[in-house]
Amino acid sequence: MSTVRLFVLDSLVRHGPMHGHQMRALAEQEHVDEWTDITVGSLYGTLKRLEAEGLVAAVRTEREGNYPPRRVLGVTDAGRAALAELHAATLAVVGLRPDPADYALARPQPDRLEELATVLAGRLAELRAQVAEHEEHLVAIDQHLTVAERLTLTHTTERLGAEVAFHERLLAAVPEIVADELSRKDFHD
């Protein structure tokens, strides 16, 4: 699922036709980079791709002062249909992406077992810092959030909290993990 495609199509439906700079300003105003995986710089490329697919189309050209002309894009009927499909498909998908760190944790390096507790303590400290930073940020931007945005950001806080709890259990299990790894014959063959 592409969050940036969802944002662009939805924004054009909600706010009407706009040029790339207006789309970028809207994304910055809504702070989408803080609660989604959207990068503001990806908007222009997405607009071009959506236009090539016939999901958005130029409705007019505007020019302000000495600036170059800007093409104002609006969503097409095909774009509205694509938005409906993308929105439904995005909400239908449930699941978490695999964390590459899980493989590294499940297969610790035999010659670095003594570092495992330190590495995990560092990860735990970083996660706790992210929770604190995220909670502070929520307080700072709360007045600008809709109910749905607030809940979405709370979801992120809760996911980070689950990571903290997991890493606390993992850190407590380090002696058992190390003993288990040292007992494996394939490390010594």
Confidence of residue 142 (pLDDT cuts 50, 70, 90): confident
Q: Answer whether residue 64 shows pLDDT above 90.
A: no
Q: Answer whether residue 189 shows pLDDT above 80.
A: no
Outline where the chain has alpha helix (H): 3-15, 20-29, 32-35, 43-52, 77-92, 100-106, 116-141, 147-172, 174-182
Outline where 30-115 has alpha helix (H): 32-35, 43-52, 77-92, 100-106
Q: What is the pLDDT of residue 55?
A: 98
- Using the CB atoms, write b or e for 99-108: b if 16+ within 10 Å: eeeeeebeeb
Q: What is the pLDDT of residue 186?
A: 64
Q: Which amino acid is at 63?
A: R
Q: What is the pLDDT of residue 119?
A: 96
Integer CA distances (angstroms), 164 to 52, 57, 142, in order:
44, 46, 24
Quote the mean pLDDT of the chain. Answer: 92
Residue (of 54, 75, 73) closest to 10 by Cα position: 75
Highest-scoring range by mean pLDDT, 72-81, 91-100, 138-147: 72-81
Q: What is the pLDDT of residue 187?
A: 56
Q: What is the pLDDT of residue 144?
A: 82
Q: Look up the CATH number of domain 3-92.
A: 1.10.10.10
| 3-state secondary structure at position 53 | coil
- Enumerate the domain spans of the chain: 3-92, 100-187
Q: What is the pLDDT of residue 33?
A: 84
Q: What is the pLDDT of residue 184?
A: 82
Q: What is the pLDDT of residue 26?
A: 94
Both tokens assigned to 159: 């996911």
Give the position of tokens 């259990």.
Answer: 169
